[in-house]
Amino acid sequence: MRIIGLDPGLQRTGWGVIEADGPRLRFVACGAVQSTAERALAERLETIFQGLRGVIAGHGPFEAAVEETVVNRNALSSLKLGHARGVVLLAASVSGLVVTEYAAKKVKRSVTGTGNAAKDQVAHMVRMLLPGAGEPTGDAADALAVAICHAHYRMTARQIERRHAGVGA
């Protein structure tokens, strides 16, 4: 199963694509879609939308996982980030992907074992779990962590479904 993880941001939206085959994970690609602060908000959002549509078309994921937005003290910053997050959700949805959202603490816990892990701890574990990823940027590492989180939760959910259906019990 090919999964794209997405870490929304107005300046940089991280993305990471992995292959999940049961508990086995394989790195496919990662990067970030960048927008320029000098451009109007609508143009920046279009850049994110079009960039993600290209990434999705180029890598053919079946599902998307998106990190939920952390609310900042600055209301305007949170609002702008919310716009970017909406565009990320839209790009995945109109591309025909099933979209699942995860809280940042759940992503961190899934990858590092603790919901309070620092960004460098998350990036380190992403490199350990996906050796082919090399040294992804912070945004791309966060997106890969979201994809890993989704792969873990998806696998667990399927095991539970099978047990309830009496298969493999």
Burial class (CB in 10 A: 0-12, 13-18, 19+), 140: buried
DSSP category for residue 18: E
Tell me how far apart the alpha carbons of residues 29 and 100 are, in angstroms, rounded to a whole number.
20
Tell me how far apart the alpha carbons of residues 22 and 6 are, in angstroms, rounded to a whole number.
21
Nearest CA to 153 out of 116, 103, 118, 119 is that of 103
Known catalytic residue at 139: yes
Active-site residue, selected from the candidate residues 7, 120, 135, 142 = 7
Active-site residue, selected from the candidate residues 43, 46, 63, 67 = 67
End-to-end CA distance of the chain: 24
Burial track 66-81 (b if 16+ CB lie within 10 A, e otherwise): bbebeeeeeeeeeebb
Active-site residue, selected from the candidate residues 38, 43, 139, 161 = 139
Tell me how far apart the alpha carbons of residues 59 and 28 are, in angstroms, rounded to a whole number.
8
For the annotated catalytic residues, the residue numbers are 7, 67, 139
